[in-house]
Copies of this chain bind each other. A is one copy, B any other.
Amino acid sequence: MIFYDCSTAPNPRRARMFIAEKGLEIDTREISIAEGQQLSPDFLAVNPRATVPVLVTEDGTTLTENIAIATYLEAAYPDPPLMGTTPEEKGLVAMWNAIAEFQGGMAVAEAFRNAHPAMKGRALPGPLDLEQIPELAERGRARTAAFFDLLENRLSEAPWLAGDAFSLADISAFVFTDFARVIKMRPPENNAATQDWLARMRARPSASA
């Protein structure tokens, strides 16, 4: 297998943490987004949609999108389970992972990509060059604050996002929460349940993978 990574970006980090939690070692190639390597002819031959992470499996199947890489690895390497075991648990992991992505990841990305000078003309990942929209940066900040509230509410009722077990959903939410540093936002210090969860997340070896 070959894993195309980017050490500075949140989406590859989600896949990297998932791989580490599975205890897998995969041949890894670094694609520097800062240097625009995701738009190079060599990488576009791997993924014409110009996004990382990418996993190329043993049989040569190319998987882009975090959920695809996680779904493949969970099926091929079931232990430890990171996406639930019963139908209800599988549903809850998929749900909280999607919520983390839509309410958390997209909110931070909106705020970052529509305001940071380095992202000028790159307001979305992928092959289209899209101009920044300042109003969208502002909206992203409001949505990020709402995501921190949502996280605190949920973690006040369950130890991990999807319930009793650590899962893919925690990886996604943790990576996005941590990445919010690029827009200078952090969960409020008095969000006790979130701070406790963050400490448990940071203590996992995968957090520094």
Q: Which of A34-78 contact B (CB under 8 A)?
A: 49, 55, 57, 59, 61, 63-73, 75-76
* A133 on interface, CB distance cutoff 8 Å: yes
B128/A64 in contact, CB under 8 A = no
Q: Specify which chain B residues have a CB less than 8 angstroms from the CB of A55 in the assembled complex.
A: 91
A71/B90 in contact, CB under 8 A = yes
* A135 on interface, CB distance cutoff 8 Å: yes
Q: Specify which chain B residues have a CB less than 8 angstroms from the CB of A71 in the assembled complex.
A: 90-91, 93-94
A59/B88 in contact, CB under 8 A = yes
| Alpha-carbon separation in the docked complex, A133 to B57 (Å) | 41
How many copies of this protein are present in the complex?
2
* A205 on interface, CB distance cutoff 8 Å: no
Of B75, B93, B95, which is within 8 A of A87 by CB?
A: B75
Q: Which of A98-127 contact B (CB under 8 A)?
A: 98-99, 103, 123-124, 126
B95/A63 in contact, CB under 8 A = yes
Given contact pairs A57-B91, A63-B91, A69-B91, enumerate 16 new A-B contacts (beta carbons under 8 Å): A49-B99, A55-B91, A59-B88, A61-B91, A63-B95, A64-B95, A65-B95, A68-B91, A70-B94, A71-B94, A72-B87, A73-B87, A123-B139, A128-B142, A128-B143, A133-B139
Main secondary structure of the interface of A (DSSP, over half): helix
Question: Which single residue of chain B is at the shortest CB-CB distance from A48?
Answer: B153
* A92 on interface, CB distance cutoff 8 Å: yes
| Alpha-carbon separation in the docked complex, A99 to B50 (Å) | 13
| Alpha-carbon separation in the docked complex, A69 to B98 (Å) | 11
Query: Do A67 and B94 form a contact, CB below 8 Å, given A49-B99, A136-B133, A143-B128?
Result: yes
* A130 on interface, CB distance cutoff 8 Å: yes
| Alpha-carbon separation in the docked complex, A65 to B88 (Å) | 14
Q: List the 5 shortest-distance A-B pairs measured between CB atoms, nearest first.
A: A72-B91, A68-B95, A75-B87, A71-B94, A76-B87
Q: Nearest Cβ in chain B — how far from A144, in angstroms? A: 12
| Alpha-carbon separation in the docked complex, A152 to B68 (Å) | 21
